[in-house]
Structure 1
């Protein structure tokens, strides 16, 4: 163990960990920047291509430049995407939900009345549906 300490001192270990952390952080920033860029509908394809080339050829400067110039509204765009996704999900859940207005007694009676007026059911069936709706 003493041999390992002499060959790789503690400060070198700390430096290696710092470099590794910065490398991971840079990749995270790269994914955030490019993810935001490619999701944006207000940026043309040429602008997206230009930012991508800049990030590839000048990686650190390109990412920091994008975040500095375009990142001002990054959080707002992310929140808008999340809100839209949540609304789409809620709408989907409501559309496929078995619990709807038909479980409401008044809605069931109104539906039964409509069926009676259209001649789909007779008075006896209407009364049965009405009693069933009122029992709930």
Structure 2
């Protein structure tokens, strides 16, 4: 009894996943017009099991292309990371200029200097 309950639960979760997958892909499909999208959704509501299979068969190649495009749309660049410094002396000089201008405190200057010299792990 427990085995069959577990098996039905797996089937239901898989079914719900397929329904949401098809709905997501229907709305990602730029080639289909609004009427076609509405027809797929209506069929998915009234004949869900058969519609899921038919949708995958009819749009299989397009699904793979849209998934690939959706995953590749986020550029993986390092623009958000700060650039590496050219030398510790330049870092210390910039930090000293900021300290002299009153932008940073003496403690912040000491932390930048310690990091530039590579002493941040030694407590110096």
| Among 24, 29, 32, the residue aligned to 2:13 | 24
Q: Which residue of 2 aligns with 1:66?
A: 55
Deviations 1:63-118 (A, max 9, x none): 11111211233122211121122x2x53xx52x55429xx77xxxxxxxxxxxxxx
Structure 2's unaligned 5+ residue stretches are 87-124
* Structure 1, unaligned runs of 5 or more: 1-11, 105-136
Q: Distance in 1 between matches of 2:16 and 2:31?
A: 25
TM-score normalised to structure 1 length: 0.55
Instruction: Please state which structure has a larger fraction of its residues in helix.
Output: 1
**What CA distance in whole angstroms lies between the structure 2 residues aligned with 1:72 and 1:18?**
30
Distance 2:16 2:30 in 1: 23
Cα distance change, pair 73–41 in 1 and its aligned pair in 2 (3 A): closer
Q: Give the alignment partner of residue 37 of structure 2, picking from 35, 40, 48.
A: 48
Aligned to 1:130: none
Number of residue pairs aligned between Structure 1 and Structure 2: 87
TM-score normalised by length of structure 2: 0.60
> RCO greater where, 1 or 2, for CA within 8 Å and sep 6 or more?
2
